[in-house]
């Protein structure tokens, strides 16, 4: 028995409709594959970006640490230099003060002599002296003592001003002005006389001594 062509077409689906469905399914599958690929790309790109970001962060930290270290080293060097400068200035000022003090004391020692304690007074002058001055004064010490005792002389000196005139390494010149009041047997309250001395001072170790004395107008 023959089969009607029209009835066969009613049972099956049209060829055009079937092609459309196949194309639609292919489009859906392609879109899904694209989505998966996009997800994979995103998944793989994020770790790389994270690594790069972490690397940049570490590099920034290292640069910051290096810069901070350089600043600290520079500040430390500056601090050491400043301390050395302050110490040098203090040491120089200490030496200057010592020169002036020795010059002042030398003027007092030479102008303050009492016949009752002349031996002690002379020894004080010798103990604070050196070089040529020591040798000259020591050679005349006996005659000086005898003259003071015979005149029954008493003198007292008071420094009115003292200053550093010049300095050359371990040597300095100190100018000292002194008011000296001297009495001898039978004298009555004499007026003080003004002395002006230039005292040469030499630094010896941690101290200083008188190496020359001259009277100036």
pLDDT digit string (tens) for 46-65? 445 556 677 777 777 788 88
Torsion over CA: 188, 189, 191, 193 (sign):
positive
Residue 201 lies in a domain: yes
Residue 3 lies in a domain: no
- Per DSSP, the three-state class of 156 is strand
Residue 182 lies in a domain: yes
Q: What is the pLDDT of residues 148-166, one digit of tens each?
A: 999 999 999 999 999 999 9
* Structure tokens, 140: 């005349």
**CA dist., res. 187 & res. 155, Å (int):** 12
Look-up of token digits 């003027």: 107
- Domain span including residue 35: 15-217
* Structure tokens, 214: 């001259």
> In angstroms, how far is CA 83 from the centroid of its own chain?
2
Residue 122 lies in a domain: yes
Domain count, the chain: 1
The answer to whether 207 touches 136, Cβ cutoff 8 Å, is: no
Check which CATH number belongs to the domain holding 117 and give it: 3.10.450.230
Say what the pTM is. Answer: 0.60
Residue 114 lies in a domain: yes
Residue 93 lies in a domain: yes
Residue 5 lies in a domain: no
């Amino acid at each position: 028995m023959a089969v009607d062509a029209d009835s066969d077409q009613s049972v099956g689906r049209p060829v055009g409709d079937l092609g459309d469905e196949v194309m639609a399914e292919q489009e859906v599958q392609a879109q899904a594959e694209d989505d998966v690929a996009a997800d994979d790309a995103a998944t793989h790109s994020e770790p790389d970006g994270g690594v790069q970001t972490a690397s940049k962060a570490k590099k920034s930290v290292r640069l910051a640490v290096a810069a901070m270290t350089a600043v600290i080293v520079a500040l430390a060097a500056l601090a050491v230099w400043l301390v050395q400068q302050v110490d040098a200035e203090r040491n120089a000022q200490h030496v200057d003060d010592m020169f002036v003090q020795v010059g002042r004391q030398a003027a007092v020692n030479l102008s303050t002599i009492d016949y009752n304690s002349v031996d002690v007074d002379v020894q004080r002058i010798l103990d604070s002296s050196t070089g040529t001055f020591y040798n000259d004064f020591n050679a005349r010490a006996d005659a000086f003592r005898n003259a003071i005792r015979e005149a029954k002389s008493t003198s007292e000196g008071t420094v009115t001003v003292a200053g550093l005139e010049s300095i050359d390494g371990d040597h300095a010149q100190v100018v000292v002005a002194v008011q000296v009041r001297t009495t001898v047997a039978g004298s009555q309250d004499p007026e003080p006389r003004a002395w002006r001395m230039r005292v040469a001072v030499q630094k010896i170790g941690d101290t200083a001594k008188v190496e020359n004395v001259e009277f100036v107008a």
